[in-house]
Amino acid sequence: MKVKFFVPIPETLEELKKLYKSLAMKHHPDVIGGDAETMKIINSEYDHLFPLLKDLHKNAQGEKYTAHTPNAESSNQFKDIISKIIHLDGILIEIIGSFIWITGDTRAYKDVFKALNFKWHKTKIAWYLPPEGYKKRHSKTYSLDEIRDIFGNEEIESKVAKKVKAG
């Protein structure tokens, strides 16, 4: 399959998800200027690349590794979640490692996040969605900034959040 939107081709699942999220922010039909046909092509490319990259990861230092436990997630799960939260105003969506974290003005969307199986982290004051089948294997506690430093992050703000920062 020839890839049009995912260029250069991502090397890890996190890179694929980050690129998908940024493409959805530009081309999703719910976003001004987006259209359904372009989004169908993006979704098709994502579905093609997902199985090739689903167990390949990279830490914040740029070192690649293969997950110890195979990823049970399907390509549709991530696309569906992003499509349901991409239009919410005043939130910041971050991909940190294999997790999705949401901060900002989230109170109004509590029921949306719960319905999508996000969990509230009271000390980090953020919603998060771990990868399917994730089990914590250590007792260490990290701040959100420490987690960003370990795994790197990609963030996209909703348009309202950008206006608040600028104004």
Q: What is the pLDDT of residues 12-51, one digit of tens each?
A: 888 898 899 889 989 988 888 889 999 999 999 999 999 8
Amino acid at 114: K
CA dist 163 and 167 (Å) reads: 6
Place of tokens 């987006």: 34
Q: Residue 159 — pLDDT band, cuts 50, 70, 90?
A: very low
> 163 and 89 in contact (C-beta within 8 Å)?
no
Residue 101 C-beta-side C-alpha neighbours within 13 Å = 22
Nearest to 155 by CA among 1, 42, 25: 25
User: Which H helix or E strand runs over 129?
Assistant: strand 126-129
> 121 and 127 in contact (C-beta within 8 Å)?
yes
CA dist 68 and 115 (Å) reads: 29
Q: What is the pLDDT of residues 57-69, one digit of tens each?
A: 776 677 777 766 6
Which pLDDT score, from 0 to 100, does residue 161 have?
Answer: 45
Nearest to 91 by CA among 78, 109, 76: 109
